[in-house]
Amino acid sequence: MTSTFYRTVWRWHFYAGLLVLPLVILLSLSGALFLFKPQVERWEERAFHDLPTQNAAPPSAQVAAALAAFPGARLTSYRLPERKGDAAMLHLALPDGAMTDAFVSPQGSLLGTLRPDSRIIAIDRNIHGQLLLGRRGSWIVELAASWAIVLIVTGLYLWWPRRQGLAGTLWPRLTAKGRVFWRDLHAVTGFWVSGLALVLLLTGLPWADAWGSAFLAIRQEMGWMQGTPDWTIGGHPVVLKAPRHAEHDHAAMMAGMDMAGMDMPGMPMTAMPMEGEAMLNTMVANARNAHLAFPALVVPPGMPSGEGGSGKAAQGWSVRSDAQNRPLRVTLHYDAHGTLTSREDITNRHPIDRVVAYGVAWHEGQLFGWINQLIGLATALMLITLAISGGVMWWRRRPQGQLGAPRPATNPARMTGVAPWALMILLLLWLPLFTLSLAVLLPFDRWLLPRLPTLSGWLGASRAISSSEPASGRP
């Protein structure tokens, strides 16, 4: 490749880094914390562990104690204790629309509550997926992820050895000083983390708002669906297109709750009817006997059957695992009389859902347990190192009073060969927000920026470099 093409790639690598490196640090930190969700939540619930187990009350008595403390509340799920001596966690819908997690001792005493949206991992998830900005934040994260993919691809091209030894290519020259040290640290770290980072970015796309919504729409149109995906899109539960009006599902939810002897959602409920108490005890016993991966939940009729409120409202009881290791998830459906009607697990899913399930489990650090967590943590630390070293390189080489972007070539570079074009077309088709942003940035860089001398000078683009001039100051 020519020096002109190298400089063009370097220039766009710089712009990509400028856009995403601050977010890379934030997302790496929040993602590293989320990797340890099981440990964080167990620590958060430490006051509800190691309890005496003698004279244990039935699950219905535990529910009754929680409902008595919150008049008008509704039980949405009963989480079985992870270990002997742990409290049961009851997810309650309060009359004001808020949710709370109530922890009840084995003997049926209410020990305390936690607000689900105020828990450490819930806040961390909101930061990681939406930057605490809702849907707009999800778009920003998705845009950053798209440009991060471009950053990795262009970075690998810049890293590619050009008459250089293994030192500085596969390992950094730690004895070097100044620019060489930071260049080696940046380039070598980028090479080793590139594959892991690409896997993380690609497995996160199904959750993104624009990408995930488009992916879901295409699947529905092509008939590539088998049940409701058990992940969120843009921070919200998946909602499939229904052939009938949405009120039909609402009516089914009402009817389902009435079938099991439960009160209607809009009516206060201070205690479970006798039929509901017996059925709850039976369902909890069924959940224990099924040996489901933690967290194992018992869900009453009328509640959505998937994680985070996804899926249609079930007309009967369901017992399910919401394990972060998604391939271990199982859902058992029962009718109003307690008879098992169906079982759902990864083998019942569409092949696309199976692939995504393994990808999500890897992304969340739970596919291989603590080994997966450590690999994810190492990936996050390397990404932070990459961002910091890139920032230091930029700061040291930028001219005084300028941003310091690499100067453009006099004659724009032309891509030759099938591979570069195929890669560019793939990126444009695969990353819709990247394509939209590029449609804005390319005309700005090519036609508008030369007409803005002050801004052009600050960016360092006021004087183009000829294609015959060597690309000095390479990253």
At 108-120, the pLDDT tens digits run 999 999 999 999 9
Please say if the pLDDT value at position 159 is more than 80: yes
Phi-psi region of 346 (alpha: psi -120 to 50; beta: other; left: phi over 0): alpha
If DSSP codes are grouped into helix, strand and coil, which group holds residue 319?
strand
Query: Above pLDDT 70, what percent of the chain?
Result: 84
Residue whose C-alpha is closest to residue 364's, from 86, 37, 146 = 37
pTM for the predicted model, two decimal places:
0.83
- Classify strands 331-334 and 340-344 as parallel, antiparallel or unpaired: antiparallel
Strand partners, 281: none
> Looking at residues 285-296, what average pLDDT do you find?
96
Distance between CA atoms of residues 116 and 287, nearest Å: 23
- Which phi and psi angles does 335 have, rounded to 5°? -85, 180
- Classify strands 110-114 and 99-104 as parallel, antiparallel or unpaired: antiparallel
Please say if the pLDDT value at position 6 is more than 90: no
Domains in the chain, please, with CATH? 3-36+126-206+370-459 (no CATH), 56-118 (3.30.505.20), 230-363 (no CATH)
Tell me which H or E stretch contains 375.
Answer: helix 370-397
Paired tokens of 445: 């860089």
User: Contact at 8 Å (CB) between 123 and 114?
Assistant: no
Please say if the pLDDT value at position 348 is more than 80: yes
Residue whose C-alpha is closest to residue 438's, from 15, 2, 5, 140 = 15
**pLDDT level of residue 445 (50, 70, 90 thresholds):** confident
Distance between CA atoms of residues 94 and 273, nearest Å: 18
Q: Is the peptide bond preceding residue 475 cis, with omega within 30 degrees of 0?
A: no
Please say if the pLDDT value at position 257 is more than 50: no
What distances in angstroms separate CA 412 from CA 136, 288, 349, 364, 424, one per listed residue? Answer: 34, 66, 49, 42, 16
pLDDT at 160: 86
State the average pLDDT for the chain: 84
pLDDT at 256: 40
> Could you give the count of Cα atoms lying within 13 Å of 313 in the half-sphere of its Cβ?
20
Q: Residue 117 CA to chain centroid, in angstroms?
A: 16
Any idea which of 60-69, 243-252, 354-363, 425-434 has the lowest mean pLDDT?
Answer: 243-252
Please say if the pLDDT value at position 273 is more than 60: no
Give the strand order in the sheet containing 110-114. 110-114, 99-104, 88-93, 74-79, 296-299, 318-321, 331-334, 340-344
Residue whose C-alpha is closest to residue 81's, from 280, 298, 369, 316 = 298
Phi-psi region of 12 (alpha: psi -120 to 50; beta: other; left: phi over 0): alpha
> Looking at residues 126-148, what average pLDDT do you find?
92
